[in-house]
Amino acid sequence: MIQKGFIVDLNKLFEQFESLFSRTVEGVSSAPGRVNLIGEFTDYNDGYVLPCALPFRTYVAYRKRSDNIIMAYSTNYPDECEAFELAPAISHGMSHWGNYVRAIAYVYKMAGYQLSGMDILISSNVPQGAGLSSSAALEVALGGALNQAFELDLTLEKIALLGQQAENYFLGCQCGIMDQLVSAKAIKNQALMIDCMSLAIEHFSVPEELALIVINSNFPRKLVESEYNQRRRDCMNAAAKMGVSTLRQASLNLLEESRALMTLNEYKRAHHVITENRRVLQAAKALQENNLQALSELMAESHISLRDNFEVTVAVTDGLVDICHSALGTACATRMTGGGFGGAVICICRHGDVPKIVEAVSSQYHQYFGLQETIYVVNAAGGLMTTLGTDRSALVSEEFL
């Protein structure tokens, strides 16, 4: 099923804010989800990644309060109110989504920023739990709102780092920096090659003739966080056994020399990360040269490495990749994207070939796997945007006009 993604109606959002809080909106912040073209599980190993932002965004409308209470609603979870006090130590609440708001307040307080209470209304069209980083979009949009409301003068990089800390220290997910950094700093029509050691970013235009197709498997993910965190521990252990501080410093030679010291899983995880870093550098070059065949080979290798060595793919994402390949061969570059265990597949092909992919997936995926996919054809979008008041033109990226 091909979908355009629904548009967040900002006028409706502002009306809803007024009816919930009996006050007008003071400012708005919005940040996108992302799709990672290549470089999976390399970010927390100080390696390279190549994501771009999606034209799906999370909006945060707010007004400061005169007390110390944060009161938040999300149109994605209607009728649920998340309210808590900005105490010195903010604790976890009962609501899953509400804990993302608490997490951001917690890390900003811990970092010493002066906050006061706020009324907040969140609304998003980023698909949730699909590996397209709705969580980072929310963290970065909330961070952008705090930055603007309390004149914190934070850089986009700092807003991203605080979002990552919210995941690591409050939400219990040991994710790297990729998702938050691309959500904060993305540029329209560009993929960002991020060096996760220095946080330096190099921009690579997505060639005009290439289409980005995101295929959500709609596979329900379970117990994912403990698996992520275990993968990260395996990577850290492998690096320690090779005598390097992160896998970025390791080579395949060093890995082979140290193999006897490692468990099989540590060896396989490290093998993925070391080879994936090389693939990201080659893929950025292939993108620059508009070399779809090279990109196709690199993304196919990446997927196989994620399947066999990092062990984060599932039958449905393997199946979607196979369906795309059997439709277009090396005229498409396809792999699972995001944290795995379900989620989405990215397929890059020429615009004229999009219908072949849509037709192949629509006719085979449900038949073989019993699930209904969602297909989005997207452009690389821009990152965090904030505005005081409700000026729509400062908030709506061109994709939505």
**Residues designated as active site:** 179
> Residue 141 Cβ, how far from ligand ADP at the closest point, in Å?
9
| Nearest by Cα to 339 from 96, 54, 128, 133 | 133
83 and 93 in contact (C-beta within 8 Å)?
no
144 and 125 in contact (C-beta within 8 Å)?
no
Site size for ligand ADP (CB under 6 A): 19
Contact between 74 and ligand ADP by CB under 6 A: the answer reads yes
Out of 69, 113, 128, 158, the residue judged to bind ligand ADP by CB under 6 A = 128
Contact between 216 and ligand ADP by CB under 6 A: the answer reads no
Site size for Mg ion (CB under 5 A): 1
> Residue 285 Cβ, how far from ligand ADP at the closest point, in Å?
28
Kind of pairing between the strands at 69-74 and 118-124? parallel
90 and 76 in contact (C-beta within 8 Å)?
no
- For residues 13 and 287, which CB has a smaller minimum distance to ligand ADP in the complex? 13
Q: Which of residues 34-63 bind ligand ADP (CB under 6 A)?
A: 58
| E strand or H helix at 102 | helix 98-110
Out of 42, 45, 124, 148, the residue judged to bind ligand ADP by CB under 6 A = 124
Out of 17, 41, 97, 106, the residue judged to bind ligand ADP by CB under 6 A = 97
> Residue 133 Cβ, how far from Mg ion at the closest point, in Å?
5
Question: DSSP string spanning 318-380?
Answer: HHHHHHHHHHHGGGEEEEEESS-SS-EEEEEEEGGGHHHHHHHHHHHHHHHHS---EEEEE--
Contact between 135 and Mg ion by CB under 5 A: the answer reads yes
The two tokens of residue 205 are 């235009």
The neighbouring-strand residues paired with 124 are 58
> Residue 140 Cβ, how far from ligand ADP at the closest point, in Å?
11
Sequence-ordered alpha helix ranges (H) in 199-249: 224-242
Determine how many CB atoms are found less than 10 A away from the CB of residue 190. Answer: 18
> Residue 331 Cβ, how far from Mg ion at the closest point, in Å?
31
Contact between 12 and ligand ADP by CB under 6 A: the answer reads no
Contact between 229 and ligand ADP by CB under 6 A: the answer reads no
Q: Which of residues 131-190 bind ligand ADP (CB under 6 A)?
A: 131-135, 138
